[in-house]
Amino acid sequence: MYDKITFLADKMNTISESEFGKICRDIYQDREIICKHNPIGSQEETLLWMLLSVLFSYLSLKENETPCFNGKPNADTYRDAILFVLKNRKEDVFDEQKYLEELTRNGI
């Protein structure tokens, strides 16, 4: 029984490429309302901040697993934090940079 619970808990803490892509697409679709209600910086910063926040919840990260920021975070800080969070949490190998670029630069 314990092994089954451990497996399920581990499974909940990973993300597939399709799941990651869907989250990025959904954030992009809602970008106007997200940026309107969370004016923390540029659109790029706000969308990356939102993605990072969603990943915290989606991956059920514990406090000691979340990145800490020094000073005022910017888009590069959020991007680096997202890469850090995804490291060792991807179910399969995929290029998350592609999704981050589409989310912040070109649209999905």
Query: Largest alpha-carbon pair distance within the chain?
Result: 48
Among the listed residues 100, 36, 95, 78, the one whose alpha carbon sits nearest the alpha carbon of residue 108? 100
Complete DSSP assignment for 10-64: HHHT-B-HHHHHHHHHHHHHTHHHHHHH--SSSHHHHHHHHHHHHHHHHTT--GG
**Ranges of each domain in the chain:** 2-106
Query: Phi/psi class of residue 88: alpha, beta or left (left: φ > 0; alpha: ψ in -120 to 50)?
Result: left
Residue 3's pLDDT is what? Answer: 52
Ordered per-residue pLDDT tens for the chain, 108 residues? 445 545 545 455 899 999 999 999 999 999 999 999 988 889 999 999 999 999 999 999 988 888 888 888 999 999 999 999 999 999 999 999 999 999 998 654
